[in-house]
Structure 1
Amino acid sequence: MQTTSSPSLQTMPMLLLLASLLLLRSATASNTSCAEEKCGNLTIRYPFSLAGAQPLYCGYPVLDLTCDNAHSPAQAYLSNTFRERLFRVRSISYANNSMVAAVHTSFAGDTGCPVPDFNVSASLALFPFNISAANNCLVFFYDCHVPSDLRLPRACGNRTMGAYVSGLWGENGTLPTGVSRNCNSASVPVRGRTEQLAAPRRNYEQLIDDGFLLELPAPLGDCDGCTRMRGGECRFDQFSFQCVCPDGNLCPASNSTAHPADRSNFRLKIIGAVALLCLVVLSIVCIIHNVRRKRKRSASLDSLIIRGGSPLASPKEFTLGGTPLTHIFTYEELDSATDGFSDARILGAGGFGTVYKGILLDGSVLAVKRLYKNSYKGVEQFANEVDILSGLRHPNLVAFYGCTSSTSQGSSCHDLLLAYEFVPNGTLADHLHSGSEVPLLAWPTRLGIAVEAAGALAYLHKHQIVHRDVKTCNILLDEEFHVKVADFGLCRLFPPDATHVSTAPQGTPGYVDPAYHHRYQLTDKSDVYSFGVVLVELISSKPAVDMARAGTDVNLASMALRMIQCCEIDRLVDPQLGYESVTETMKTVDLVAEVAFRCLQPEQDVRPSMSEVLDVLREAYRMMMEKGGCVATDDTILLKKSRDGSPASVMHKWISPSTTSNHST
């Protein structure tokens, strides 16, 4: 989709990524030549490069393609910053500066479903492409009522999914009859013939596979003149186009091969990129040395915000069919949305700020995290959250909508704000520990919640992210009781070559890894321990800490370890779940109790990984659904009663106590 921002702003995200790659990655190709390479039917040359066959300087680093020879013909892929193959390159037109790419992914790990669980334009934000307005917009929607005439033939990731074509890409389409505005959605640009577009629910796989048209900018420098007139090779090195002669030296007057306007624009881009890199470096220095000057802190935040995405034209753009680039809200927008941060709008309090319910002028609902004013740690965490959240995508993680910019008018007097998806059905803790106020969650529902929460954590661990505060208060539930894991206020990326992250004591009592107390070493196995406590809560309906319990049983983990080891699971299980009366319930509860027991082991090394936990829970859920048909029917009734008794628009208050010590760094 075409944007209206200035060229320098458009190219800053790409150039920042270019700089990072140029500084951190060395070429893996075995030769130094930039001669054309083939990948299947594709010819790869400047401004593209082919990983493993050409050095990185043979093209723009963000256009470094991966060739998979396992297919016939071989296929080329574009990858994201996590090196996931998200797009398959079907064709490249160097004459027209365009290419056709197809989404290459599956929904929530469901390999039989090619529907993306992310919005395509967000994943392309750091590439120098525009999605052509000639594409149509195919919208997939879920987690809401799906009319039968729009419903896909099969579920995706255990979700009923619908599809419709909203019109040309970039236009504001209208919602079909019967589709609610509160649906979760993913928009995919597609080409497709008229008859295919008329029935997207039947043709969606072919529409996705056929791909969509991307417009590329004119490559920097006159590559054609370099190769034909000088016999040289085109390269992109040290932020500039270079024409390298056969002797390995720069061709004389190679800079003159570029059009004057290209050279002028490129100088502006280089100045912007260098300035942006300087801001990033300054921000890191400021954080390390605890520099408290507000002007420097603003610079660090601006650099991260710009990297995450560019300002959008309308707040509606994160709703159905919209563009999901990180939205830069004004402070005034969110102040008005929360009724001046009224106490009546408070949803909960966290270690770094307070969360409010916000309603935008168009009626869109969101959750606004207001970081505590004048808190240096809060500013650092703001930068950290924007950086991490902008790159995450999973249907069971709370979606990140955007943030305020520290350069907003009067921002020096305002708090920093983050905007998230609003989840209307409260927390898992609400449904487990609210007594008679909330109807009982039946066992199949609890098992489904466990599977989805484990899937979200396994996704985080796959990308080397530790949640740090896994607990039932941070597992939100939507109206269909699907999971949204929340509160990444304590998230930190840990380096690929590191085995742990050393920090000051953190976490919530009852969920904290005992090994963490002794060594202050936090790993993904610490999340596994905390999730083990969550599993025991699902089995027992008991809170993680209860001072009314005797002795060591105050801590639910200690009670569970003792009872499971002594074969007293029946005493641990909530008697309302039918453990002793329904065979499949007993079998699956025993499976969950067994994996919880492994999660709660004091030594980190003997605990399973989160992916192993997920496999066990999926198997238990499969057993429950295949052989427990009557239970599933009863569960449906309970789900309906629970939905009827749950708030329709306001989330139950959820409290996330401050879990960071005052002296932590």
Structure 2
Amino acid sequence: MSNSLVHLHLFPLIALLVILKFSLCFSASLEWYDDCGKYFSCGNVTKVGFPFWGSESRPKNCGYPGLELGCEGNATITLGIMGMKYRVLDINQNTQMLTIAREDFWEGICLQRFVNTTLNFELFEYGPGLQNVTVLYGCPSPYASVPGQFTCKMNDLNDTTAFPEQGALGPSGCNASVVVPVVDPLVDQIGNVSLDQVINHGFRAKYKVDSFCIECEGSRGRCGFDLNENKTSCLCPDGSVGHTKCYNNNNKDYASPGDQHWHLAAKLVPFSLSLLLKTSLNMELSAPSFCVIMLITVFPLFRLQKSANAYTEYETCSRPFQCGSINNTQYPFYDGYVRPEYCGYPGFRINCSSPVPQISVTSSENYYVVCIKEELRVVTVARKDYWDGYCPNGLSNTTINVTLFEYYAPTFANLTLYYECLDTSYPRNQFQCGNISSEAPVGYFVGNMTSAFEDGIPLGTCKRNVIVPFIKYQSNTDRITDILSLMQAFRTGFDLEWKAENNLCDACTASGGACGHNTTTGNFACYCFDRPYDSTCPEKDRHKGILIGVVAGGVGLAAALFVCASLFIAQRRRQLLSHTRSKDLGPGTPITAFLSSNGFQSSKGFTTTPSTDLSRSIPSYPSSKSDLENASAYFGVKVFTCNELEEATMNFDESRELGDGGFGTVYYGVLHDGSLVAVKRLYENSCKRMGQFMNEIQILAHLRHKNLVTLYGCSSRKSRELLLVYEYVPNGTVADHLHGKLAESCDLSWSTRLSIAVQTADALAYLHESDVIHRDVKTTNILLGDNFQVKVADFGLSRLFPSDVSHVSTAPQGTPGYVDPEYYHCYQLTEKSDVFSFGVVLMELISAKPAVDITRHRHDINLSNMAIDRIRNHALHELVDPKLGYDKDCVVQKMVKLVAELGFKCLQPDRETRPSMHEVLESLREIEKEVMNTQKQVVVDIQETDDEAGLLKNVTPPLSPESRDE
């Protein structure tokens, strides 16, 4: 079949696929917009909108995942928080304030479970005017005279004394306690008004919502929640999804995702028409281009292999894994590495990297996993703070997430530890904790309250107590007689029964499936041979579907590859024949041909025909006709043989390793002429690596800047190794000096760090002026030469394209901690992505902290989040590297504030509000100039100046988040 006939058949199919895809996108977006325009109403509370959702009126993607409202009897609104059910008494959406009361107290003051009141502080904060009241249960006779007492039946005991006490900790000696927030004026009324009336009056909690929702709704948008991206979205009337608000369709600076989709389709149609035109003129299409189009059209055939992928999921979730010393770990547990998230259940991620596995059974604390009893659905855990001793840094009772766990009744018992006891006359069950109280260091431990009072242990003099669950046989005081047996009991832990759709999992495994969950919806999933199901695998021949899918997909793929290979071989032969008749092209031709073949045209000098601007940007390596014919130059750079580079690096000896990155290892090398080089060896010679290999050469071949690493050469594309040869930069990376192997031996002064920032910004601004986006800006890619001269490196992820082309990538790449958050939302690549990454680099220079550190608090794991939080809360001093002398040097303090303010602008979530790289560079140069001027104008006058602020003359910096408050 001729090429013209192929193109004529392919064109309508391509057009049909494009129309189908984008029409489906629009219909889904418009349905989402309509759904989120509806309100939740129940009883006296009406018209409740974002961030709440619930019932059929407002689906899950119209509110935050943790703010689902229920309606009972069309009169009572309920809300679940941290596994606790609350009754919603009022919702004020103007002040973002809820009035809620605990459902268990509403049913009666004598509780079945004793659980303190806790909120999810990612979604809520306590309202003003509240005090904690502790309700104490099972108190002994010494407290019988306390006012406000009442009686409750507890477990196997008869009526026992109970009473409320103001504060979060009441007197010790009672079996159980529950802390409840109460409105201030009602605290003093306890005793005059019944306790249940006081508690059921409720308390106020403020819910948190993205501030941009006001802007979104003001632009005729509706706030929703993207469950795939796990972030808030602005839904627009035209079916598009905005970043912070909806824009007028006449606004040329804004293109909705729908506009972008149709823009791409509009680009594709002329492209296809041009192919038809070429065919009509008897111009042959290249083999790679034909292969791309053909693979697009046969893609539906490859979807038949979906069943094979499902079988892989089934196999993965069917296999248990080993976590530390625990064997045969299965659902609902997962580690996210050996066992992927979809094979577990939300909330059951287990950390296997530590010597003893860890799991979170509350929202904030990890517990050690002692063992897992699969047949009982019981996990035995132990408190980390009591693992190595009985005197932790902070005293707190044991709490669990009651949505996922409950105490295992057959083995459950409590052990109480009493601290700060004044009466030390009783010698048994005694321990000492000087770190908690030096004045009253003595404490007691008891496993049975009744026997403790019968034995005369003076617990009434103890100020504080902590209840720790234990396995029942370990809580017997006859067994725990000394500190050693107490420590053994701590490490034995206690049993928790897990709740992870247990009944569904039983049904799934009985039908031959493997238990897991859908990571998109969060619902249970039963992975079967052919595909995932909601509950069980159907009764049918499961293997038949697999076989059909694999065979059909394999045949289609083999046919496509055969045609591609045939076309490629034929075209290659024609190229070789034409190459022998071609004239000498010179080193600039390849990059020009590359730009021309991709239709690039820019206002900055890159055109589809050779220009003087482009010629100046291409390196002028010495070359000759014989060099080109012998393939000794590629895109204008020298081509080395693998043997040359193996000899230069001592056969890639480990002692020559300089670093290890995401795409390859870099080695130190010495060429025949004595030149020192750095050789990057890509991990594998695959299509993906070949693309990165060619991309980096194409980028660096036409760029020259003092702060960009110089590419000396590369290996041939046909060689067994993909190797890139750079200039050798001897002084490590910025990351090494800030928080790596060189951090202790070499402190970077503030002036040096500022110089590094200026040089890096200069290099990035040059790249952006040349229509290049780096896409992987980070401190490990900023090399330092002699005198700390910056060399920006690693262009494997970079992109070269003109400024009037909107590039969309559906495969986000980069390094965690540096990636533009908007990139995950819209998949659109702009130079503002580099600006965000550079903002993270600025914060690293200020703080000497890595961009990502999982040992920090979960809200501070990403340095960008940590920096924004500290600057907003006027706590910049908590972020600054102590080595800079921020508190002592007022010049450094002012300059750090200015750079922090600039970094704050770079880290804005909306890329439109970020400055350009050129503006960042100019700001840094102004700051650097101000440093020099300030140092010249510092005047030390001992007789006239008492305040160190008087040392600064004529310095008027712009307001930073810190200085603005001052």
Greater relative contact order (CA < 8 Å, ≥ 6 in sequence): 1
TM-score w.r.t. structure 1 length? 0.49
TM-score w.r.t. structure 2 length? 0.34
